[in-house]
């Protein structure tokens, strides 16, 4: 069952570093605080250091440097107390395909020391909560991705943790399953559970998180509420696609007069309007004056991707491919750490 | 043993047994392959019983000891592969986030090996006796033979667990299978030690603990009650079990680096 309350029921991290053998500094001195009952979104591309941070905060990987307290307990000195206060659904639902959902719940509740008479009731209650009562006796090998993720969440909640770590809980899920999981996470936060959620989906962080930390190459490059971060950037983006491909370069030149060019759609270009939304009409007039026929034109409000772009010089999507290799290296070392 | 530890072992043992019983691909080869080799060897090497000093006139009875050892080798692969899969899929991390104790994990995982070992031993013995093999030690000897077989299976299972924890790879564990088969072939598998004429082979087989495990099985099948042979067989199995558990426990500590 959940441990006694520490002096701070949230998460406090100072100067956390993790260096893998012969590898990069996967986490390079991060500081953060997550208040009790808050949903904290940890946003970044693959390989940015999100999962490594979660492994350290859940006591599964010792930090190289720095300190962290989770639920008021030190992650290095008080590992068992931390584990009893937290629940975690780590990247890729780690389930046994040969066991049923109910058998998973039975195992999890027993290993957490929940008294025998309560185990079945707790398991049934959680399976119902995540909508798996009907499938409870089916082997997990036959579950869909969304069902596995929901079971993973139910298992993480078995011992009523006060802090929940969700490492990319919706990666690979269809939009329906993703929305269902979002609702469940929001409900948990409503019940007072602190949620530390890593994600590479901007809309997920935007929709769920009270505050967002943006991590890139092991460092937090921006932190705040989604609204505050977007307001900080403050500039909307116009993206356009020319009717004729041969006009692409001329269109870029015209857009460039109105602000900083950004990664645009395929065959098109985008500009972050230095003068705000009011410049849209001027952009249209300038394109028309140059005789450039436009197939598509769209105005975007600032997004977390714009925040990422501003802070790192790269778009979130573009950063993923570049950092994929680093992540694979770190993951391989974490798996083979024996 | 505390209630908590007992519960942990019980739950993990339950899972291990369920996993074993739900994977016919693990059980069937472990039952069929050794019996197939028994049929081939006992037919093809029948003439060996004419050698002076051969302990029995039934090569089937002599060869019946071999499936018990081959079955034990399958347990290396099965126990190790199951654990390696848990490491690869992250299931071990899930377990690590609970107050699970290492001893419970290893003991629980071996429960599947016990069940498989029991199934194997009973099947080999029944098929062997039906085919005409003798059991000189009688029904009580059959029980001891099954107990010895399960002990050897569990002992070899710990080597599988150790390999899985060290490598974290199912493929690496499976690659051990041929290595262990070489140990089996370089033993008194086909002939008694005293009839091995080639010196280097005799020396290797004499130093190979598998030879003495085979002799323990054969003592029950051919001679009756030879307490010396039995003690040696159980002693070697216990030693492998102890060393395997110690090595696996250490590897688990390294693998589970939770703070």
Tens of pLDDT, residue by residue over A132-153, are 999 999 999 999 988 998 999 9
Phi, psi of A135 (to 5 degrees): -100, 10
Q: Closest partner residue to A58 among B22, B97, B257, by Cβ?
A: B97
Take residue A193 and report the two structure tokens written for it.
């559970």
Pinpoint the alpha helices (H) of B168-226: 170-174, 176-185, 199-207, 209-218
Question: What residues does each domain of chain B span?
Answer: 3-255
A334 touches chain B (CB under 8 A): no
Mean per-residue pLDDT for A115-129? 92
SS3 A233: helix
Phi, psi of B164 (to 5 degrees): -65, -45
Cα–Cα distance, B230 to B239 (Å, whole number): 14
CA geometry: angle at B141 spanning B138 and B147, to 5°? 150
Take residue B215 and report the two structure tokens written for it.
């002799």
Which CATH fold would you assign to the domain A11-230+317-335? Rossmann fold (3.40.50)
Residue of B nearest to A337 (CA): B255
Which pLDDT band, with edges at 50, 70 and 90, does A335 fall under?
very low
E-strand ranges in chain A read 11-19, 25-34, 39-43, 65-70, 73-74, 86-89, 163-167, 194-199, 211-216, 219-224, 237-242, 259-262, 269-273, 294-300
SS3 B142: helix
pLDDT tens column, B212-235: 999 999 999 999 999 999 999 999
Mean per-residue pLDDT for B189-206? 94
pTM score of the predicted model: 0.81
Residue of A nearest to B13 (CA): A107
Q: Do B258 and A83 touch (CB under 8 A)?
A: yes
Number of inter-chain CB pairs under 8 A, A vs B: 92
pLDDT exceeds cutoff 50 at A1 = no
> In chain A, positions 69-88, which contact chain B (CB-CB < 8 Å)?
75-77, 79-80, 82-84, 86-88
Mean per-residue pLDDT for B130-143? 95
Q: Write out A259-293 in H/E/C secondary structure.
A: EEEECCCCCCEEEEECCCHHHHHHHHHHHHHCCCC
Question: What residues does each domain of chain A span?
Answer: 11-230+317-335, 235-301
Q: Closest partner residue to B255 among A77, A112, A338, by Cβ?
A: A338
First to last CA, chain A: 30
Cα–Cα distance, B111 to A195 (Å, whole number): 37
> In chain B, positions 51-110, which contact chain A (CB-CB < 8 Å)?
86-91, 93-100
Phi, psi of B63 (to 5 degrees): -80, -15
Phi, psi of A198 (to 5 degrees): -95, 145
Cα–Cα distance, A225 to A14 (Å, whole number): 20
Length of chain A: 338
Length of chain B: 259
Closest CA to A9 of A36, A27, A31: A36
Strands A259-262 and A269-273, by their bridges, are antiparallel
Which pLDDT band, with edges at 50, 70 and 90, does A330 fall under?
very low
pLDDT exceeds cutoff 70 at A35 = yes
Cα–Cα distance, A311 to A221 (Å, whole number): 6
Which pLDDT band, with edges at 50, 70 and 90, does A320 fall under?
low
Give the right CATH number for A235-301 from 3.40.50.10310, 3.30.70.100, 1.10.150.120, 3.10.180.10: 3.30.70.100
A119: left (phi over 0), alpha (psi -120 to 50) or beta: alpha
The answer to whether the CB of A93 falls within 8 A of the CB of A84 is no
B6 touches chain A (CB under 8 A): no
Mean pLDDT score of chain A, rounded to an integer?
Answer: 85
Question: Whose structure tokens read 């499938």?
Answer: A135
Whole-number Cα distances in Å, A275 to A214, A234, A294: 26, 10, 22
Mean per-residue pLDDT for B9-33? 90
Whole-number Cα distances in Å, B65 to A179, A260, B140, B176, B241: 60, 80, 17, 22, 20
Closest CA to B174 of B67, B69, B80: B80
Strands A25-34 and A39-43, by their bridges, are unpaired
Closest CA to A44 of A317, A283, A265: A317
Residues with Cβ < 8 Å from B251, sequence gap 6 or more?
Answer: A338, B161, B162, B165, B166
pLDDT tens column, B166-194: 999 999 998 888 888 899 999 999 999 99
């Amino acid at each position: 069952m959940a441990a006694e309350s520490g002096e701070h029921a949230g998460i406090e991290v100072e100067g956390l570093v993790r260096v893998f053998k012969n590898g990069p500094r996967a986490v390079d001195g991060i500081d953060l605080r997550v208040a009790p009952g808050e949903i904290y979104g940890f946003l970044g591309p693959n390989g940015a250091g999100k999962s490594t941070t979660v492994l350290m905060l859940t006591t599964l990987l010792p930090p190289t440097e720095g300190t962290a307290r989770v639920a008021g307990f030190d992650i290095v000195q008080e590992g068992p107390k931390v584990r009893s206060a937290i629940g975690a659904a780590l990247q890729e639902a780690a389930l046994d395909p040969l066991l049923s959902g109910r058998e998973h719940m039975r195992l999890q509740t027993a290993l957490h020391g929940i008294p025998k008479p309560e185990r079945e009731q707790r398991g049934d209650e959680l399976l119902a909560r995540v909508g798996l009562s009907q499938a409870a006796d089916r082997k997990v090998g036959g579950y869909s991705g969304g069902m596995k993720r929901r079971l993973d969440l139910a298992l993480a909640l078995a011992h009523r943790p006060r802090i929940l770590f969700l490492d990319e809980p919706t990666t690979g899920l269809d939009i329906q399953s993703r929305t269902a999981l979002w609702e469940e996470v929001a409900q948990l936060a409503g019940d007072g559970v602190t949620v530390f959620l890593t994600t590479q989906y901007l809309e997920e962080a935007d929709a769920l998180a009270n505050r967002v930390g943006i991590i890139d190459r092991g460092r937090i490059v921006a932190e705040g509420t989604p609204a505050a971060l977007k307001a900080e950037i403050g500039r909307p983006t116009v993206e356009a696609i020319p009717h004729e491909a041969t006009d692409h370069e001329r269109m870029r030149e015209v857009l460039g007069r109105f602000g900083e060019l950004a990664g645009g759609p395929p065959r098109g270009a985008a500009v972050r309007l230095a003068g705000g939304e009011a410049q849209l009409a001027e952009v249209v007039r300038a394109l028309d004056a140059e005789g450039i026929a436009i197939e598509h034109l769209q105005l975007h409000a600032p997004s977390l991707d714009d925040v990422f772009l501003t802070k790192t010089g790269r778009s979130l999507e573009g950063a993923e491919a570049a950092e994929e290799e680093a992540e694979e290296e770190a993951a391989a070392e974490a798996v083979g750490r024996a | 043993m505390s209630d908590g530890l007992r519960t942990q072992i019980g739950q993990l043992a339950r899972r291990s047994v369920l996993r074993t019983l739900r994977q016919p691909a693990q059980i069937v080869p472990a039952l069929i392959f050794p019996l197939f080799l028994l049929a081939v060897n006992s037919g093809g090497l029948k003439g060996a019983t004419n050698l002076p000093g051969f302990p029995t006139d039934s090569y089937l009875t002599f060869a019946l000891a071999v499936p018990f050892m081959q079955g034990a080798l399958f347990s290396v692969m099965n126990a190790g592969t199951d654990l390696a899969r848990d490491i690869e899929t992250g299931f071990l991390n899930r377990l690590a986030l609970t107050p699970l104790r290492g001893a419970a994990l290893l003991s629980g995982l071996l429960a599947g090996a016990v069940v498989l070992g029991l199934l194997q031993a009973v099947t080999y013995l029944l098929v062997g006796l039906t085919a005409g093999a003798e059991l000189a030690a009688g029904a009580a000897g059959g029980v001891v033979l099954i107990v010895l077989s399960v002990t050897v299976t569990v002992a070899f299972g710990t080597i599988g667990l150790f390999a899985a924890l060290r490598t974290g790879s199912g493929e690496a564990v499976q690659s051990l299978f041929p290595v262990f088969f070489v140990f089996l072939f370089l033993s008194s598998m086909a002939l008694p030690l005293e009839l091995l004429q080639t010196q280097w082979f005799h020396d290797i087989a004499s130093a190979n603990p598998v030879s003495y495990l085979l002799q323990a099985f054969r003592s029950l099948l051919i001679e009756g009650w030879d307490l010396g042979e039995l003690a040696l067989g159980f002693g070697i199995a216990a030693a492998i079990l102890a060393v395997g558990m110690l090595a696996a426990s250490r590897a688990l500590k390294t693998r589970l680096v939770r703070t």
